[in-house]
Structure 1
Amino acid sequence: MYEATFRITGGVAYEEATRGTGATVELWCNDHCDLLYVSKSASDLVRRHIEDQVGITHVVEDGEETIIVTSECLKSRSPDHIESFLARHNCLLMPPIRYENGGKVCRVIAVDSKHLTRFYRDVQSEFTVTVESKREINNHAQTQPLVALGSSIPELSSQQHTALLTAHERGYYRIPRDATTAELADEMDIDRRTFEEHLRRAENKLIEALIEYLFK
């Protein structure tokens, strides 16, 4: 098996909402509708786009994210969906689709590396495409997940990523600790409670992913 992560730009959904804003949108397609995790910095722009395109059935405000359930699947209305390219070249999309920095990030797997190459060339005929990463999946044992642990780690928001990295680099996780959350918050130029919220959410996402991976 082979895996590649592609970044697609040029007329993709949520392009304007995420370009230069640091905002992110994670889309989980359920065929009849989509589940989206939208960072607060883009929630209004994305919500208007969704209401215009497919409609909204539910909205849940969850701290720094907005969770949206759509009335229909975006791919039925959007010209940028890649399912037809995937089917044409025997490739599979690994959810979620991530929109950030004015582009669409897709993780794709195939049995033969040639299929990924053909998919890449075909998508290039309509969009601007760059390859962010690629690798061969060597472990096919039935007792192990198809994708490696690294690719099962959840995506963190930019704030969560910075908070976690700052905490690690400044010795917050050492015993005894070399820094307090107040000191780390000052370094990020945010208040302590906001920093702790970012850090807890990052830790929670990582722990949930690791628990599922280690004890499934």
Structure 2
Amino acid sequence: MIEECLAVEFRVREDDCPLAQASRAVGVEIDAEPPQRRSDSYDLLEFRSVRSEALTDRLDDDDRISHLYVSRTGERSRYRCLSKHPCVVRTLIDGGLIVETLRYRADGTTISGAVVGRDVLEGVMEAAGETVGVTLERIYPRQSDAEEPPNQRWDLTPAQEECLRTALEMGYFTIPRETTSEAVADELGISKSAFLERLRRGEQVLFERIFR
């Protein structure tokens, strides 16, 4: 059994991926899920951004993108589409990288993930070396595998953890607040009252653990 797991972060400049080019063109940051390869060789892309008609129009006009779907909650948009363009991230995945987060910004793309074992790392690095503009920014032993998941470590229920994580990602806790309780509730697919109840119960659990 392989016990070593390494966290890695790659930086891609001048990425020709449709999402990367759209982010640079309109100056909007995009947070994406790892692409899901379908049997027809298309990748299913799911991603989010602040609400931007310019971004939507740019993607809608891109011939490499098909079946673009947009849902909006408050000041944020959630996108789903298909792409057959051979993106850099797909090259790294094929080399063995387990992608966890993708962030497209005007100054470049950040790909964070993990590799299991040094031999897999060599395969990923070989794939990265054959791709123009890809650099390894960070690599370090992954400590989280030896830790409990957040919901177990802090005695949160899975629903409370999801509620807190989504609220944080959407900017609910920032000052000034970037979203509303209604928007977060819509993103979670629950009512506003259910969201606020989970939020308060989750906060109570965290505060009790911190100040106990």
Deviation at 1:129, TM superposition (A): 1.8
Deviation at 1:45, TM superposition (A): 4.3
Report matched runs for 1:1-216 at 5 Å. Answer: 1-10=5-14, 11-19=16-24, 21-28=26-33, 29-32=35-38, 33-41=44-52, 42-49=54-61, 52-56=63-67, 58-70=69-81, 72=82, 74=83, 77-88=84-95, 90-94=96-100, 96-113=101-118, 115-116=120-121, 118-141=123-146, 144-145=148-149, 156=169, 160=171, 164=174, 167=175, 195-198=176-179
The answer to whether the 8 Å contact 1:14/1:46 transfers is no
> Could you report, residue by residue, the CA deviation over 1:73-115 in whole angstroms, capped at 9, with x for unpaired residues?
x2xx112243344333x33222x42211253221121122453
Instruction: Give the whole-Å Cα distance in 1 for the aligned partners of 2:125 and 2:169.
Output: 26
Instruction: Give the whole-Å Cα distance in 1 for the aligned partners of 2:127 and 2:80.
Output: 31
**RMSD over aligned Cα, in angstroms?**
4.0
Q: Which runs of 5+ in 1 are unaligned?
A: 168-194
TM-score, scaled to structure 1? 0.57
Name the aligned partner's letter for residue 142 of structure 2.
I
Question: How many percent of aligned residue pairs carry the same amino acid?
Answer: 14
User: Structure 1 stretches (4+) deviating beyond 6 angstroms?
Assistant: 152-155, 199-202
Deviation at 1:46, TM superposition (A): 4.1
The answer to whether the 8 Å contact 1:4/1:116 transfers is no
Name the aligned partner's letter for residue 49 of structure 2.
V
Name the aligned partner's letter for residue 196 of structure 1.
R
Instruction: Give the whole-Å Cα distance in 2 for the aligned partners of 1:145 and 1:65.
Output: 28
Q: Which runs of 5+ in 2 are unaligned?
A: 39-43, 154-161, 189-197, 207-212
C-alpha change, 1:101 and 1:68, in structure 2 (3 Å) is: same
Question: What count of residue pairs does the alignment treat as equivalent?
Answer: 165
Instruction: Give the whole-Å Cα distance in 2 for the aligned partners of 1:99 and 1:6.
Output: 12
